[in-house]
Chain A
């Protein structure tokens, strides 16, 4: 691996692999599922080149629990899957959250429910921002380009270690398959990579034995633990919100709120509207948990309508409703089951509402 920054024309799934390895990930376990198969395939080639461990596990359940084990032992580790596989991993994610373990997951979303299909979708917003059982939170980053697939995957490892918390990349089949030019930041230094992890299970030589447990049976102990977790979640919420906001300098009449693939497509819609003299701003959350409520509230203040576009039946729109004061200003348009909207389609929807 070169230490120089390098431009590469690669798929989103490959960008995830390069970012993980550049961020110091040295353990990967996964199980095949379209549209993320290029991640384990490419990882099986690249991971041994950097001296790490690649395992094709026998299921998603085993994959996520192997990652649980690897991060409990202090390694940087990752698993990846697509929607139905992520459902299977939810138990392990909850256990990692309970044990405060820094696992990284990538969900290259496809259509659902059930086995659904293999087309791009944003059907798992709910199961990312409201994951698993047991009152926990997961940092969730939503890329919208192949550069962000790389950058945010790298960030995910730093954030996971910073907060000892699972982090998910919420991508979709389009971003997994799409090829774009990417700058691989070979000279970027991972944060916290060499920070000691005294909690890790590294063998009890020279010290007392220690355990990592998610079972806290004594009355009051779990409640205390969960209040401690809440302090961490509050800190993350205060510190880590990220979003892209554009077009606000023109005092737009309208605002589009969209994440990931639909976020980038919406920029084409905004350009089409501009040709008609209609100024429209874009709010694109990059962290969908923690959700940038305040920034959206501020951006939505003086617009007549907020258009929320998603590749699902309406999931992020619930967070938009929490953010804006007058939810009667919100108009939702979604494409479920693997449909990808075009810029013209979203333009036509807006034109139909504003005349």
Chain B
């Protein structure tokens, strides 16, 4: 298998962390993964982007030209990366912050991740909700691996935070299953 993902949004939304999270789930399942962020004068509210290549084989280029999956956190991100999609691209949109799209893709999932995160009283977990949706719909990786990586990445931090992220993940996962 080879999966090429583009994740885009704004600084502070957890775009890069989402990319690292999916990469680590892939690595946990013994895949190769290469994660590449945009970098430079990044700041909260500024543009944020990362690409991710996952493969059973050696990864030659970590640069993603046409995405198998595009995960867009807001309108600007979606509009900027339309040209890096094809009809076959799976598009996951944070519909809380995306009002319209002109993407011609077979598979689209519109998930109000920011609103769902607010309902969980944790606006920062919108990215983990998106992760749940991704893993739920793409079916490349198991829910169990994701749970292990969530706990591993949060590490020794408060158990409550882990619980919150696990339930955020589940909400996204269940949403994708509907």
Q: Is B36 an interface residue (CB 8 A)?
A: yes
Question: Which of A70-78, A151-159, A263-271, A292-300 contacts its partner?
Answer: A263-271
Q: In the complex, A268→B33 CA distance in Å?
A: 16
User: Contacts A178-B36, A180-B34 known; A267 to B62 CB distance under 8 Å?
Assistant: no
Q: Is the CB of B61 within 8 A of A343?
A: yes
Q: Is A30 an interface residue (CB 8 A)?
A: no
**Min distance, Cβ A260 to any Cβ of chain B, angstroms:** 13
Size bin of chain B's contact surface: 10 to 19
Q: Is B90 an interface residue (CB 8 A)?
A: no
- B11-45 CB mask vs A (1 if < 8 Å, else 0) is 00000000010011001000011111101100000
User: Contacts A268-B60, A344-B65 known; A178 to B27 CB distance under 8 Å?
Assistant: no
- A248-281 CB mask vs B (1 if < 8 Å, else 0) is 0000000000000000111110010000000000
Q: Is the CB of A177 within 8 A of B63?
A: no
**Min distance, Cβ A310 to any Cβ of chain B, angstroms:** 15
**Contact partners of A9 in chain B: CB under 8 A:** 20, 23-24, 27, 33
**Number of A-B pairs, beta carbon distance below 8 Å:** 54
Q: Is A25 an interface residue (CB 8 A)?
A: no
Q: Is A118 an interface residue (CB 8 A)?
A: yes
Q: Is A342 an interface residue (CB 8 A)?
A: yes
Q: Is the CB of A181 within 8 A of B36?
A: no
**Contact partners of A340 in chain B: CB under 8 A:** 63
**Contact partners of A34 in chain B: CB under 8 A:** 39-40
User: Contacts A264-B61, A268-B61, A343-B61 known; A178 to B35 CB distance under 8 Å?
Assistant: yes
Q: In the complex, A199→B31 CA distance in Å?
A: 49
Q: Is the CB of A181 within 8 A of B32?
A: yes
Q: Is A88 an interface residue (CB 8 A)?
A: no
**Min distance, Cβ B40 to any Cβ of chain A, angstroms:** 5
Q: Is the CB of B36 within 8 A of A118?
A: no
**Contact partners of B65 in chain A: CB under 8 A:** 342, 344
* Nearest residue, chain B, Cβ from A342: B65
**Contact partners of B23 in chain A: CB under 8 A:** 9, 179
